[in-house]
Amino acid sequence: MAAKRLKIDQDSNGKVKRDDERNTTTKLADALIYIVPKKIPKARLQVLNNLAQKKGFLLSERFSDSVTHIVTGYETVDRVHAFLERQPASNVEVVNLDWLTDCITENKIVNVTGKVRIKSVGELSSQKSSGVARAESNKLEETSPNEYQDNKFVCQRATPLKHHNTKFTDALEILERHAVYVDSTQRDSRALAFRRAACALKSYPKQITRIEEASKLSSVGNHSKKEILENGSSDEVQDILSSEFFKTMEVFSSIYGCGPATARKWYEKGYRSIADVHHAVSDGMKLTEQQTMGFKYHSDLVKPVPKEEAINIKDIVIKELSKIQPNCIVELVGGYRRGKLSGHDVDILITHQNNSKVEGLLHKLVERLEKLDLMVGRNPHFESKTLYLKSVKGIGEGSQRQGGHMDSLDHCFCMFQMGKSFENEKVEHSCMQTTGEADETGTSTGSSSSEQMAAVVRRVDLIVAPHKQFPFALLGWTGSKQFNRSLRDYAWKVLKVKLSNHGMWDHKHIPVRQVEATSEQEIFHELKLEYRDPHDRNA
């Protein structure tokens, strides 16, 4: 008959209590072991459980803060964290099955060495950065020497929207999102590792069919690479997709104003649906004004915005601008400018060749849109920063957050809805300068008529930039986030140039010298980079 599993209990202080202390030593009593059931054959798991209990080891049927050792068949700590849906304390040892076998053999808790300790993706990546991994990397580069260069910076490679390795990149994007969701002190570095691996694959000029070619995926184990190549996915990705944690975090993160930290907080409180959060609000839980808008219009905001509709919204903005200030320059930016056919928000960048015409322009536009009932909500603390009235010298001298495009430009995040009075009205803006496919001055004369739009709420970001800063704002708000991160990283590390949405400053000169540019092409030229069309910035 199988040995009876010891019953583990805890007192109010979290100290482990047990109802059977026979055949145990002090050392055994100091350790509480949790065996991750995944990736271990059931027969072997039962044998290990029986042997460990007969020897007097304390086993926990579930993971808790009292656990001192986690035994697993997973290859990385990251996969253990994904299974647990949490980050254990730093003093918890994560070990392989050999450690438990050694403990049973020696009838004591043996020391944890590097041989049995399970490592993180980051640690494995560091180990692979030399030796065999370097050899595999060279093989990849030799695969197509005339077509592919494994440059250090993403901004040095073309990254098209449509590429040959979606099988890998789709899986990596799920791993990246999960890494952001999991409460981990290393979540940013893990997510970045997955993102960088995806970028390398997006740039590769052919479909990867052999595991040797996938050496750039240092963030993913060889077993997972093989699974993805053969089946289009991996056990890890499927485990994530089917987990309650990931599904819930995806739902909460789809709410405007709810980031990963808030979503995690709600999950830890036991909420599993939007209805649960609604009940909590009814019971007194407070929401921010953005979250209130996010809940109110959630069913609309989760629907993709087709590019045609985004152009219609831009045309409405152009029409109303013409009544406030003629001859504005307007650009639809973000993913649409990079070639995407849909998105979840509409970013519109505005300027005027005469800086005196820019001052107060956004306030006037917002007021007009609100009076026309086109705007049903906006960020509550909207105000112009009037950066165009100040010296921008200091902007490039301090630290610049890499990758993002939050800046000091005038902007308004709003909820936009087509009013009934506009449903059958055509937008007339022949007098306006709009930048569809912009020339070097950022202008063009193309236009698009506004057709009927359903009364659906869309998130629209309106950004106004001084004309001198417009090329830099255009580059930054076009994205992608990873391309911007790489471009700014390259500019600083290689050239000692600080690049932002406002301009660029050369720190090799004392005092710091501002570098001017009148177009995106000039910015790339000043940075000594080959110009990348927006369609090739989908990192």
Residue 506, annotated as binding a ligand: no
Q: Tell me the Ramachandran region of residue 464: left when phi exceeds 0, alpha when psi lies from -120 to 50, beta otherwise.
A: beta
Residue 297 belongs to some domain of the structure:
yes
* pLDDT given at position 39: 85
The model's confidence at residue 136, banded by pLDDT at 50, 70 and 90, is very low
**What's the Cα-to-Cα distance from 426 to each of 218, 403, 406, 415, rounded to whole Å?**
53, 38, 34, 22
Q: What is the mean pLDDT of residues 108-132?
A: 73
What 3-state class would DSSP assign to 389? helix
* pLDDT given at position 330: 98
- Gyration radius (Cα) of the chain, Å: 28
The model's confidence at residue 382, banded by pLDDT at 50, 70 and 90, is low
Place of tokens 């803060």: 65
* pLDDT given at position 522: 95
Q: What is the largest CA-CA distance in the chain?
A: 90
Per-residue pLDDT tens digits for 287-325: 999 999 999 999 999 999 999 999 999 999 999 999 999
Q: Please check whether residue 479 is in contact with residue 400, taking contact to mean a CB–CB distance below 8 angstroms.
A: no
What 3-state class would DSSP assign to 537? strand
Question: Around Cβ 9, how many Cβ atoms within 10 Å?
Answer: 9
Same domain as 114, residue 52: yes
Of the CA atoms within 13 Å of residue 317, those in its CB half-sphere come to 32
- Check whether 107 has a pLDDT greater than 60: yes
Q: Which neighbouring-strand residues pair with 71?
A: 35, 95
* pLDDT given at position 421: 43
Task: Show the CA angle centred on residue 233, arms to residues 228 and 239, nearest 5°.
Answer: 130
DSSP 427: P
The model's confidence at residue 182, banded by pLDDT at 50, 70 and 90, is confident
Same domain as 196, residue 115: no
**What's the Cα-to-Cα distance from 292 to each of 28, 44, 277, 406, rounded to whole Å?**
52, 51, 11, 22
Residue 491: which H helix or E strand, with range?
helix 481-495
Place of tokens 């950004």: 463
Rounded Cα distance, 63 and 286, in Å = 32
Per-residue pLDDT tens digits for 398-416: 444 433 445 789 999 999 9
Most confident of 41-45, 104-108, 182-186, 501-505: 501-505
Residue 10 belongs to some domain of the structure:
no
Helix/strand/coil percentages in the chain, nearest 5: 45, 10, 45
Give the chain's length.
539
Whether cis (ω within 30° of 0) applies to the bond prior to 511 is yes
* pLDDT given at position 127: 58
Same domain as 262, residue 176: no
Same domain as 217, residue 236: yes
Residue 335 belongs to some domain of the structure:
yes
Per-residue pLDDT tens digits for 152-175: 799 999 999 999 989 888 988 998
Q: In sequence order, what are the residues at sequence separation of 6 or more whose Cβ sits closer than 8 angstroms to the Cβ of residue 445? A: 433, 434
Same domain as 83, residue 56: yes
Q: In sequence order, what are the residues at sequence separation of 6 or more whose Cβ sits closer than 8 angstroms to the Cβ of residue 406? A: none
Rounded Cα distance, 494 and 319, in Å = 44
Q: Please check whether residue 411 is in contact with residue 462, taking contact to mean a CB–CB distance below 8 angstroms.
A: yes
Q: Cα 516 vs. chain centroid, distance in angstroms?
A: 31
Whether cis (ω within 30° of 0) applies to the bond prior to 480 is yes
End-to-end CA distance of the chain: 58
- Check whether 465 has a pLDDT greater than 70: yes
- Check whether 27 has a pLDDT greater than 70: no
Range of the domain at 266: 244-302
Nearest to 491 by CA among 515, 473, 455: 515
Alpha helices in 64-215 (DSSP H): 77-84, 97-106, 121-128, 132-143, 166-181, 187-203
* pLDDT given at position 89: 85
Same domain as 318, residue 281: no
Most confident of 72-86, 100-114, 259-273: 259-273
Share of the chain above pLDDT 90, in %: 50
Most confident of 118-122, 226-230, 492-496: 492-496
Task: Show the CA angle centred on residue 13, arms to residues 70 and 28, nearest 5°.
Answer: 40
Same domain as 184, residue 111: no
Same domain as 328, residue 461: yes
Same domain as 248, residue 114: no
Residue 538 belongs to some domain of the structure:
no
Q: What is the mean pLDDT of the chain?
A: 80
The model's confidence at residue 268, banded by pLDDT at 50, 70 and 90, is very high
Rounded Cα distance, 344 and 427, in Å = 23
Q: Which neighbouring-strand residues pair with 342?
A: 306
Q: Please check whether residue 503 is in contact with residue 395, taking contact to mean a CB–CB distance below 8 angstroms.
A: yes
Q: In sequence order, what are the residues at sequence separation of 6 or more whose Cβ sits closer than 8 angstroms to the Cβ of residue 21? A: 29
- Choosing from 242, 262, 285, the residue where a domain stops is 242
- Check whether 419 has a pLDDT greater than 70: no
What 3-state class would DSSP assign to 46? helix
- CATH number reported for the structural domain that contains residue 230 in this entry: 1.10.150.110
Rounded Cα distance, 41 and 37, in Å = 8
Q: What is the mean pLDDT of residues 522-528?
A: 96
Residue 345, annotated as binding a ligand: yes
- CATH number reported for the structural domain that contains residue 498 in this entry: 3.30.460.10
- Please give the residue that has the higher pLDDT: either 158 or 86: 158
Q: What is the mean pLDDT of residues 112-125?
A: 81
Q: Cα 341 vs. chain centroid, distance in angstroms?
A: 20
Residue 224 belongs to some domain of the structure:
yes
Q: What is the mean pLDDT of residues 45-69?
A: 91
- Check whether 451 has a pLDDT greater than 90: no
The model's confidence at residue 507, banded by pLDDT at 50, 70 and 90, is very high
Same domain as 496, residue 367: yes
Residue 30, annotated as binding a ligand: no
**What's the Cα-to-Cα distance from 275 to each of 272, 280, 281, rounded to whole Å?**
8, 9, 10
Q: Which neighbouring-strand residues pair with 434?
A: 330, 444
Q: Please check whether residue 183 is in contact with residue 116, taking contact to mean a CB–CB distance below 8 angstroms.
A: no
Number of domains in the chain: 4
Same domain as 195, residue 60: no
Residue 126 belongs to some domain of the structure:
no
Q: Looking at this protein, which amino acid is placed at residue 279?
A: H
Q: Which neighbouring-strand residues pair with 506?
A: 497, 513
* pLDDT given at position 75: 85
The model's confidence at residue 224, banded by pLDDT at 50, 70 and 90, is low
Rounded Cα distance, 144 and 84, in Å = 41
**What is the bridge-based pairing of β-strands 329-332 and 433-435?**
parallel
Q: In sequence order, what are the residues at sequence separation of 6 or more whose Cβ sits closer than 8 angstroms to the Cβ of residue 92? A: 67, 68, 69, 70
- CATH number reported for the structural domain that contains residue 54 in this entry: 3.40.50.10190
Q: What is the mean pLDDT of residues 104-118?
A: 90
- Choosing from 221, 242, 263, the residue where a domain stops is 242
Rounded Cα distance, 51 and 104, in Å = 7
Per-residue pLDDT tens digits for 235-263: 888 999 999 999 999 999 999 999 999 99
Q: In sequence order, what are the residues at sequence separation of 6 or more whose Cβ sits closer than 8 angstroms to the Cβ of residue 315? A: 427, 429, 447, 448, 449, 450
- Choosing from 102, 121, 140, the residue where a domain stops is 121
Residue 492 belongs to some domain of the structure:
yes
* pLDDT given at position 207: 86
Residue 260: which H helix or E strand, with range?
helix 260-268
Same domain as 355, residue 212: no
Residue 443 belongs to some domain of the structure:
no
